[in-house]
Amino acid sequence: MQMRILVVGGGGREHALCWALARSPRVSRVYCAPGNAGIRASFECAGISPDDIDGLAEWAKREMIDLTVPGPEAPLISGIADRFAERGLKVFGPSGKAAMIEGSKSFAKELMAKVGVPTPRFEVFDDPVRARRHVSAVGCPVVIKADGLAAGKGVSVCFTPGEAMKAIEDAMERRVFGAAGSRIVVEEFVRGEEATLMAVADGDFAIPLQPARDHKRAFDGDVGPNTGGMGAYSPIPSLDREAVRDICRTIVRPVLAELLRRGTRYTGVIYAGLMLTDRGPVVLEFNARFGDPETQVVLPLLKTDLAGIVIAAVEGELPRCSVEWADGASVCVVMASAGYPGPCEKGKPITGLELLGGLPRVHVFHAGTAEGPRGETVTSGGRVLGVTATGETLAEARDRAYDAVSFVRFEGAHYRRDIASDAAGRPVH
């Protein structure tokens, strides 16, 4: 059966999902809501906000959508899967209850502690006075996290007491993250290599995708404020396929089993944010969806039909799936607006995109773009473009990505120049 699929969201992750799903022989049409200028150039878009779940459901019902794939976390946590199911509509994503693995860091930490998943030591606080006392007692460095959703920006790594006290004040008293910061998690600081492992789950079973590494800090050398992600690469030289399978077996599947024991079946992508330490992988966080920008480097290496994997998960047939990966590596460089992750000016014309169409093994995934008054492509957000390239090695993919970036111009364009530099000389598995 030829399927009609709706992707919900309007960023680089959603552009990559639309691109990958449209390559499937099982799929007749891919739609996106609300999309962006790059998505709109190739796919039909509906001007519906990801937060308008009823509007999305009515549109999906009217357009006879066979499957909806939400990109962002907010509609998942708000229960898009539950409310679509009430209307007889299929969604590749967890229920609102299961998505609390991302919606509440304290819920996720307590779940990990229950099943023995390795995670940094932590305490949860609703009172800033008690939080300050705890930090004074344990000393720095510590990591302070807003409990709720903060668009990837609610984490503060604090090396001094002053930084820690400011992070507590910002989250709990100044409410810079809104209600998300009314409760915080104070966590042990651990050292190591960061890694992301996403897995597709059908409630009972999970298949790991290829690991990736995101670069969160705004500036070269991993300094500056945390962002939603300034680039990524895949695979990770220090994680071979056996290590990936072991992480799925010892970390992902026990969490899925505990949720199922509690009556919550998890279907969709489960994202484990890891630190690879001397004592083994520890989980820093879980997300309930595809990562951004990790999706932009993982999907170009996927040889297996993504739609087939997604459909198998929704239908509970995942154990019958086998997933194949292309040899080589993938690197994504995010081009951001000046000021990101703070306030950014919008409407800056983007030039040079037409020059990238003929470059081999290069994909440009639009994130914060829109159509300008004269039909030109303009900036409309903080992260503007994800320029992704593949190659036989990480070094080759990295060189190709930065060559492509050099063609693109917009006022105030900012990007890191050290994406994948930590791994470019190391062999990949």
Q: Give the per-residue pLDDT at 152.
A: 67
Chain segment 296-314, per-residue pLDDT in tens: 999 999 999 999 999 999 9
Q: Give the per-residue pLDDT at 423.
A: 80
Residues contacting residue 414 through CB under 8 Å, at least 6 positions apart: 335, 336, 337, 338, 340
Structure tokens at 35: 């999309």
Print the SS3 string covering the chain: CCEEEEEEECCHHHHHHHHHHHCCCCEEEEEEEECCHHHHCCCEECCCCCCCHHHHHHHHHHCCCCEEEECCHHHHHCCHHHHHHHCCCCECCCCCCCCHHHHCHHHHHHHHHHHCCCCCCEEEECCHHHHHHHHHHHCCCEEEEECCCCCCCCEEEECCHHHHHHHHHHHHHCCCCHHHHCCEEEEECCCCEEEEEEEEEECCCEEECCCEEECCEEECCCEEEECCCCEEEECCCCCCHHHHHHHHHHHHHHHHHHHHHCCCCCEEEEEEEEEEECCEEEEEEEECCCCCCHHHHHHHHECCCHHHHHHHHHCCCHHHCCCCECCCEEEEEEEECCCCCCCCCCCCECECHHHHCCCCCEEEEECCEEECCCCCEEECCCEEEEEEEEECCHHHHHHHHHHHHCCCECCCCECCCCCCCCCCCCCCC
What is d(CA 394, CA 161) in angstroms, rounded to the nearest whole number? 39
Percentage of residues of the chain with pLDDT beyond 70? 98
Residue 427, pLDDT > 90, answer no
The single residue listed with the structure tokens 């932590």 is: 122
Domains, the chain = 3-95 (3.40.50.20), 127-182 (3.30.1490.20), 193-320 (3.30.470.20), 329-405 (3.90.600.10)
Backbone angles phi, psi at 371, to 5 degrees: -90, 130
Alpha carbon of 168 to those of 120, 144, 148: distances in Å? 19, 7, 14
What is d(CA 158, CA 267) in angstroms, rounded to the nearest whole number? 35
pTM across the whole model: 0.95
Chain segment 243-296, per-residue pLDDT in tens: 999 999 999 999 999 999 999 999 999 999 999 999 999 999 999 999 999 999
Q: Give the per-residue pLDDT at 137.
A: 95
The single residue listed with the structure tokens 């966080």 is: 285
Rg of the chain's alpha carbons, rounded to an integer? 21
Strands 362-366 and 383-391, bridge-based pairing: antiparallel
What is d(CA 234, CA 54) in angstroms, rounded to the nearest whole number? 36
Backbone angles phi, psi at 34, to 5 degrees: -90, -10
Chain segment 45-90, per-residue pLDDT in tens: 999 999 999 999 999 999 999 999 999 999 999 999 999 999 999 9
Q: Is 165 exposed, middle or buried, given 0-12, 13-18 or 19+ CB atoms closer than 10 A?
A: middle
Residues contacting residue 183 through CB under 8 Å, at least 6 positions apart: 106, 124, 125, 126, 146, 147, 148
Note whether 189 and 141 are within 8 A (CB).
yes
Over residues 111-125, mean pLDDT: 95
Confidence of residue 225 (pLDDT cuts 50, 70, 90): confident
